[in-house]
Amino acid sequence: MIRFLFKGLIRDRSRILFPFLTVAIGVFLTVGLYCYIKGAEYQIVEFNADLLTGHVKVMTKGYAAESDQAPNDLALTGVGKLVKELKTTFPGMTWAPRIRFGGLLDVPDEAGETKAQGTVAGTAADILTAGSAEIQRLGLENTVVRGRLPAKSGEILIGEILADRLNLEPGGKATFIGSTMNGGMATANFTISGVVRFGVRALDRMGLVMDIADAQAVLDMEDAAGEIPGWRTDGPYERDVIEGIASRFNISASASTDEFTPVMKTLRDQSDLAALLDQLGAVNGAVIAIFILAMSLVLWNSGLIGSLRRYGEIGVRLAMGEPKGGVYRAMLGEAVMIGFLGTIAGTAVALALSYYLQAHGINITGFLKNAAVMLPSVLRSRVTPAAYFIGFIPGILSTLIGTAIAGRGIYKRSTASLFKELET
């Protein structure tokens, strides 16, 4: 029977082409949008992870409790050993110590006395070691608007508004004044190697980036760091996996009351990201649900139209003695087949495109030159397991329901008046 129906569909293009194309296009849009939204969500997670939170972050208990103030008097010590242990315990992760700090940048005049001063919020990361991924993670490559990245010790990057306010250009000298890890006065002279437009006003106004070795020397933090963010290397951010890693690390820490005990916080535990991600998930879910509903209505309508177009054919079949139930079931069977084929085709094309966008993305660097916000330079889709079956909801169900509703008319038709109807 199925084979019979399938042959009928294949041989009568007018019966299959329009419904098939409608279903395929609808499913393609649904799956494509789903992957794109998942890609955007993934990029927000990765963007925050790269820039600030890591997938997880190791800090002392005390530091974690006040992390918005970056209290370096509560920094981790023995960082080299700790990173080695982390690498051994969690081989699927990569770790990079960072220091966040505050202070002042003082610009000298010709006599070496204060000409201008500005408050700075600094980030220190490994930006000088060859092969370090930190430059990419911090998005520095695309944000330097004047000068270049630091190439040697003693060079720093500063935010564009800060540079303009202090009248500092690449090559200019400035003195950093801050506090050491022990609370002493920290001062050091630096050369501005480049000016950065972070795109975030607060960072452009106060941002400063220096190599972590320089920061450790200036802030008296030898083998110490405020935080050690970690990122998965064996896969993307997955909440369950990340929470599992943090739980494993925190087993020994949970019993300790010492504020210097290292603890691991997940991305969701930091910077109110849990609420943001939950909200984002809810909004994305709503957008996808609305889109699926809209597509379902389109495909349902398509099922209805398809059935109504065959009003005459159904009349003939009934007039020839085919049972109403048989016609109805045949139509439903055809709808399932068309829906299935259309869904497979639509999903296949959407997944192919999404996989391409996941791997290569769309480079929007050209559009970001004058951008006012810090954005990822490559927009990517993300294919998740759900992307493989989400198209079946509008693709098969809606076509089937549309046909089922339209097909109810079969039972309302009077056999006695069929010939009369067919004559006209």
The residue ranges that bind another protein (CB under 8 A) are 62, 73-74, 104, 106, 108, 112-114, 117, 119, 175, 177, 179-185, 187-189, 220, 259-260
**Min CB(197)–another protein separation in Å:** 24
Q: State phi, psi for 131 to the nearest 5 degrees.
A: 85, 0
Are 399 and 296 a contacting pair, CB within 8 Å? no
**Min CB(175)–another protein separation in Å:** 5
User: Which residue, 261, 267, 236, 257, is CA-closest to 385?
Assistant: 236
E strands, 239-343, are 262-266
176 vs 300, which CB is nearer to another protein? 176
**Min CB(177)–another protein separation in Å:** 6
**Min CB(230)–another protein separation in Å:** 24
Q: How far apart are CA 47 and CA 339, in angstroms?
A: 38
- Indicate the DSSP class of residue 105: E
Which structure tokens are listed for 343?
């869904």
**Min CB(112)–another protein separation in Å:** 6
Are 64 and 265 a contacting pair, CB within 8 Å? yes
66 vs 238, which CB is nearer to another protein? 66
Partners of 187 in beta bridges: 177
User: Which residue, 382, 378, 376, 377, is CA-closest to 353?
Assistant: 382
46 vs 106, which CB is nearer to another protein? 106
Q: Where are the alpha helices (DSSP H) in 360-417?
A: 365-368, 392, 399-412
Q: Which long-range contacts (CB under 8 A, 24 or more apart) does 13-22 make?
A: 15/306, 15/310, 15/334, 16/338, 18/302, 18/306, 19/302, 19/303, 19/306, 19/338, 19/342, 19/399, 20/338, 20/341, 20/342, 20/345, 21/342, 22/298, 22/299, 22/302, 22/342
9 vs 75, which CB is nearer to another protein? 75
190 vs 231, which CB is nearer to another protein? 190
50 vs 204, which CB is nearer to another protein? 204
**Min CB(236)–another protein separation in Å:** 37
Residue corresponding to tokens 């520095």: 140
User: Which residue, 102, 101, 104, 100, is CA-closest to 175?
Assistant: 104
**Min CB(210)–another protein separation in Å:** 15
**Min CB(32)–another protein separation in Å:** 51
74 vs 163, which CB is nearer to another protein? 74
**Min CB(79)–another protein separation in Å:** 15
Distance (Å) of CA 140 to CA 150, 267, 401, 419: 10, 21, 53, 78
Q: Between vectors from CA 156 to CA 154 and to CA 157, what angle results, nearest 5°?
A: 170
62 vs 199, which CB is nearer to another protein? 62
113 vs 423, which CB is nearer to another protein? 113
**Min CB(102)–another protein separation in Å:** 9
Are 192 and 47 a contacting pair, CB within 8 Å? no
Distance (Å) of CA 22 to CA 7, 56, 159, 354, 365: 20, 45, 51, 20, 35
**Min CB(216)–another protein separation in Å:** 14
116 vs 135, which CB is nearer to another protein? 116
User: Which residue, 230, 208, 52, is CA-closest to 124?
Assistant: 208
260 vs 419, which CB is nearer to another protein? 260
155-159 and 185-196 as β-strands: parallel, antiparallel, unpaired? parallel
